Amino acid sequence: MTTPSTTEEVDAPLVALLAASGQEHALRWWPELTPSQRQRLHQQLAGIDLEQLQRLFRQTDLTATPDQALRPAPVLRLARTFEDRERDWQARLCGEMALKAGQVAVILVAGGQGTRLGFEGPKGTYPVGPLSGKSLFQIHAEKVLALGRRYNAPLPLYVMTSAENDADTRSFFDEHEWFGLDPDQVVFFTQGTMPALDRETGRLLLAAKDRLATSPDGHGGVLHALSAGGHLADLARRGIEYLFYYQVDNPLVMVADPTYLGHHIEAVAEMSLKVVPKLSPQEKLGVAAEVDGRVRIIEYSELSPEAAARRDSDGGLELWAGSIAVHIFNLSFLERLAAEGTALPYHRAVKKVPHLDEHGRLVHPDRPNAVKFESFIFDALPLARKALVVATRRAQEFEPLKNAEGENSPETVRQAMSNLFAAWLNSAGIEVARRADGSAAVPIEISPLLALDAEEFRRRLHGAERVTEPLLLDAPAEVGGMLSKLTRARDRMNILGGRSAGSIPSSDSTAPADRTAFSSPRREHKCHADIFC
């Protein structure tokens, strides 16, 4: 529906294109808009590929894969034998070489809001520390800071935001003095958006009279955002070879895990992913599968119930490997995709989207009314010359924050963090009060600035203690004072995975890397161990 004033002030080709695609209703309130509002709406409409939108809307199975084509992906399993442990040891040394050489950067995907948590603001600002109340952002930033200190090579942190939370995210970092990071170490970049379409008609939905209803274009938008913003070139300038990628809602992530990184390098992979065994066929995790000889992730919503429930000869799930959205990319791989103009496919999702009705009133639907389109970064897997899948333990690395109550809620995330730190205490010979189900009976929190893993924690402690009350260890200087208040246990445990404490690699025993932060040229890095399998 257009008016004379509309066609006079909007580019004629755009008006014609809107009419041809049945989207002229987007200009319904044009006569009521101010000049600035008209400019905003015009720019938004002009930036949309209407033909692509209609094509995507008509395609009901954008990324479907036949069940019979799905095979379990080859997975590097958890260490069970001496040879496996030796393999992991060599991989860790290899990964540490890359970290010391300043060849690793971190990509933190943080475009989401805390809406499902009943929280206003970016999800990364949510206070999740069991005792400290630290935000997700602070926990992740402190891990990056601690890694830089451990390997004497600060890691650049690239934070992908959305149009909705970019300003708030930047302000949060600034207000908290960048959590100890150098501001030059942190780069923010914003993912793109896609319009939402009416589920029944495919018509554009309006969030306001001068604004379309849009949503972030998915974590697959990281590829275009990095390329379009010049960040791939910036990463190359910094001497980066490997990008560690993960999502903000998982505080258990082992950021830039050197063993994982080493396996990626040893395998000469271009892209890697971590997986955990699915708890059930219905768990909402994409699964790693092999299709036509290529590793892929099949999104849970696109996996048929029959395929999800398929069993192997041992009675376990055939497609058991659930992705935890932790990847490593070679920078050269992303550069190649960008140079070739590779566009990752879109997936469709039916969601509830607030919109204006025909009278200009904002409607909050009580059922899914709209189609959203998102691209997923894991769809780059089959484009890699070699992809690697690595198994990890859920209790050590995966408990995402997604819901206000129930599973994946603040309660379960804080409990998972306490359980992890309780395991660290146990491995250092410190008893922890437990519930009947084995979970930690008291909240426990250990700052990344004190220790990034159980091995580092053991190196920092002396003697054995017993924890029966809430325990917060927030900085190295606090260790002695905090633990001296606890009662000493009778027997000292010594759980070191078959190695003596003195054999654990540490940045304390190595010379600082000869490197100028963020400006070193690319270096040749080879450590392809023969024992990799």
Q: Using one digit for the tens of pLDDT, what is the confidence trace for 430-462? A: 999 999 999 999 999 999 999 999 999 998 876
Among 220-229, 489-498, 515-524, the minimum mean pLDDT is found in 489-498
Q: What is the pLDDT of residue 464?
A: 52
Q: How many CB atoms lie under 10 A from the CB of residue 128? A: 22
Residue-level pLDDT at 480: 53
User: Residue 492 has what pLDDT?
Assistant: 31
Q: What percent of the chain has pLDDT over 70?
A: 85
What would the mean pLDDT of 323-349 be, rounded to a whole number? Answer: 96
DSSP state of 446: E
pLDDT of residue 11: 75
In percent, the amount of the chain with pLDDT more than 90 equals 80
CA distance 23 to 311: 47
Q: Collapsing DSSP states into helix, strand and coil, what is residue 206?
A: strand
pLDDT at site 320: 97
d(CA 522, CA 533): 28
Q: Output the pTM of the full model.
A: 0.86
Q: Is the pLDDT of residue 526 over 50?
A: no
Is 67-391 in CATH node 1.10.40.30?
A: no
Residue 528 confidence class, pLDDT cut points 50, 70, 90: very low
Where do you find CATH 3.90.550.10 in the chain?
A: 67-391
Tokens of 195: 């319009």
Range from 163-172, 362-371, 472-481 carrying the lowest mean pLDDT: 472-481
Q: What is the mean pLDDT of the chain?
A: 88
- Other C-beta atoms lying within 10 Å of the C-beta of residue 525: 13
What is the C-alpha separation between 12 and 18, in angstroms, rounded? 10
**Is residue 1 pLDDT above 60, yes or no?**
no
The arithmetic mean of pLDDT across residues 520-524, rounded, is 37
pLDDT at position 43, please? 93
Distance of CA 79 to the CA centre of its chain: 25
Angle, helices 12-20 vs 35-46, to 10°: value is 60
**Is the pLDDT assigned to residue 523 strictly greater than 90?**
no
Inform me whether the pLDDT recorded for 387 exceeds 50: yes
Per-residue pLDDT of 196-216, as tens digits, reads: 999 999 999 999 999 999 999
Q: What angle do CA 253, 290, 89 make, to 5 degrees?
A: 45
Residue 494, pLDDT above cutoff 90: no
pLDDT at 505 over 70: no
When pLDDT is cut at 50, 70 and 90, the band that residue 506 belongs to is very low
Q: Which is more confidently placed, 4 or 109?
A: 109
Higher pLDDT, 476 or 220: 220
Neighbours of 83 (CB within 10 A): 11
Q: Mean pLDDT highest for which of 231-240, 299-308, 346-355, 450-459? A: 231-240
Closest CA to 10 of 39, 32, 36, 34: 39
Angle at 16 between CA 12 and CA 21, to 5 degrees: 150
pLDDT single digits (tens) 68-102: 789 999 999 999 999 999 999 999 999 999 999 99
Q: In degrees to the nearest 10, what's the CA dihedral of 87, 93, 95, 97?
A: -150
Considering only residues 497 and 390, tell me which one the structure prediction assigns the higher pLDDT.
390
| Residue 368 predicted with pLDDT over 70 | yes
- Number of other CB atoms surrounding residue 165 within 10 Å: 22
The enclosing H or E element of 244 equals strand 242-247
Q: Are 262 and 274 in contact (CB under 8 A)?
A: no
